[in-house]
Amino acid sequence: MRSAILLTSFVLLAMSVSAQERSYGRSMVINDHGIVATSHVLASQAGAQILARGGSAIDAAIAANAVLGVTEPMMNGIGGDLFLIYWDAKSGKLYGLNASGWAPRGLSIDFLKKQGITAMPQDGIHSVTVPGTVEGWSQAHKRFGKLPWKEIFGPAIYYAEHGYPVPEFIHGYWADSLDKLKQASEAQRIYLPHGKPPEIGEMFSNPDLAKALLLIAQKGRDAFYRGEIAQAILKTSAALWGTMQADDLAEFSAEWVEPLSIDYRGWKVYELPPNGQGMAALEMLNIMATQPPNNDGPQGAVELHKKIEAMKLAYTDLYRYNADPRFAKVPVKGLLAKDYAEQRAALINPDKANCAPVNGNLAKSDTTYLAAVDKDGNIASLIQSNYDSFGSGVAVLGMGFVLQDRGGLFTLAFPRSWKKTISTA
């Protein structure tokens, strides 16, 4: 049986029309040392350079991801979360890493109610959760890295310091986020030079981010969670009456997890377990496997209708049952059972869209994906995200990056300290 790693973020139904019209052509660089594929050519080149120096797939993935945080700051960066599936060729084993952050301990329902908040904010300081990216990089590099940590960040530091030309599709997302960026003075200072987004082809640099990346390169993950960057995050939070405290950052750690898998038409497909949304991708494939083939083609109307309906059903279950497994039991086995897929598939009308799908009974568009393969056959499949475009809109004072807004996915019904939200990975 063939195997496939599927680390995805299903955001198609949430995309705006303007986003749909933009190209997501994958920038892939191939050389004698391996392959790197990202959404930006500079990131792909950075990863390829690391491979050429003898780096592993994870070294290349981290280097490429760091560059993407510079060149696509609305999508991802060190203020966001990270998920990784890694194939270790030597051991023949697949590893999963969940580096999604938890909510600050002080972000309680009582606190929010005292602020007059009745629903989770979708941006601003109260939507911020602890960023997991740097911790994820650190854990992955300790386990699978070959090159020295500090060498990996050279390309990202260079582009942050010296600048890069802004491509058309990035300019479009930047412009779409204009109102959010104008709400916070630090974000406006960093990302709106001359009071507006950089133009297509304009050179954009971020010296503050170069400084932050240099600190991470020199001092490791503790620079972010205990050192100078941590202090800047806490200062930023306090200035906006946020709840982030030193132990929220210092005590955070990424988790190594066992990937989920299903058999799909001769392929064994792997995804990460909750709190990520990987089980929805697997449930969708299970539902699709029950559908008979047709002559319409993979992008024909009939096939697209089936995929969309399967996605609706899988996502309805996702938002009903997914949770942080440290605090709730998630019925993964039941959701991925073949007989359950058949029950769900029976709800698909081949001639009509289901406009109000409901979850079954059991016994946003701002995410970056990249992949790297090294000469030894190791594979890194990585997703990294701010969640929404430019995350919370809150930029860390003097550090050149925004904090994610994944806390907006919480509800006020189930308060728990250091809980993780559902993730878009």
In b/e form, how buried is each residue of 259-296, taking b as 16+ CB within 10 angstroms?
A: bbbbebeeeebbbbbbbbbbbbbbbbbbbbbbbeeeee
What's the farthest any 2 CA atoms get from each other in the chain?
60
3-state secondary structure of 10: coil
3-state secondary structure of 423: coil
CB 44 within 8 A of CB 371: no
Instruction: Find the catalytic residue in 38, 367, 421, 424.
Output: 367
Length of the chain in terms of residues written: 425
Half-sphere exposure (Cβ direction) of 412: Cα atoms closer than 13 Å = 14
290 is catalytic: no
E-strand spans in 70-128?
Answer: 81-88, 93-99
Rounded to whole angstroms, what are the CA distances from 267 to 3, 215, 419? 5, 43, 34
CB 321 within 8 A of CB 330: yes
CB-CB neighbours of 168 under 10 Å: 10
DSSP conformational letter for 292: P
3-state secondary structure of 3: strand
DSSP 253-285: --EEEPPEEEEETTEEEEE--TTSSHHHHHHHH
- Give 292's contacts (C-beta < 8 A, 6+ positions apart): none
Task: At 6, give phi and psi (nearest 5°).
Answer: -120, 95
Rounded to whole angstroms, what are the CA distances from 339 to 11, 150, 347? 27, 50, 13
Rounded to whole angstroms, what are the CA distances from 360 to 11, 44, 262, 310, 324? 22, 42, 19, 13, 20
Which active-site residues does the annotation give? 367
